[in-house]
Amino acid sequence: MTHRLFVAIKPPPHVIDRLIDTMEGIDNARWQSEEQLHLTLRFAGEVDTPLANDLAAALEQIRAPAFDLEIRDVGHFEKKGKPHTLWAGIAPSPALLSLQRRVESACRSAGIAPETRVFAPHVTLARLSGNAGAIAPFLVEHAALRTAPFRVERFFLYESTLTPQGSQYDPVVAYPLR
């Protein structure tokens, strides 16, 4: 059996509510559901059960303190010059970068290939296809998006299941920050 796994931080309900309040105004955007909003620390991909167990055990060894994060601004990622993902940014955080490096190290020690992409901390708000409406008005309207700092006291190993309605994300293990 294979599992599609990723490691992430789930924002608290008041931050999720604030993000949901911004999620409108772009025709044909596939807005994320409340359950889908997260900050990915590392996408592990499709792994078999033994490797999934090794990853869970490696993540258990991470020791890091709790820390504060805040949402700051909005933006988008492009492929071939066309926007495909709309996101809320994360204010710079040395503690977040340290945790992400530890998660990356745990993934490698479990046998998962190194991540080649640069870590760009964000919370995905919407997926955009070629028929999505203009994003510029949304980006202008929400350019000053901010949340009060929120405490990160745990991170999660999630399993992602692809469905016709979109991805379903289920937390498998919670890892406390001490």
Active-site residues: which are they? 38, 122
Residues 6 or more apart in contact with residue 161 via CB below 8 angstroms: 4, 167, 168, 170
Give me the count of residues in the chain. Answer: 178
Alpha-carbon distance of 62 to 130, in angstroms, equals: 41
Q: How far is CA 127 from the centre of its chain?
A: 13
Alpha-carbon distance of 36 to 127, in angstroms, equals: 12
- Helical axes 94-110 vs 49-60, angle rounded to 10°: 140
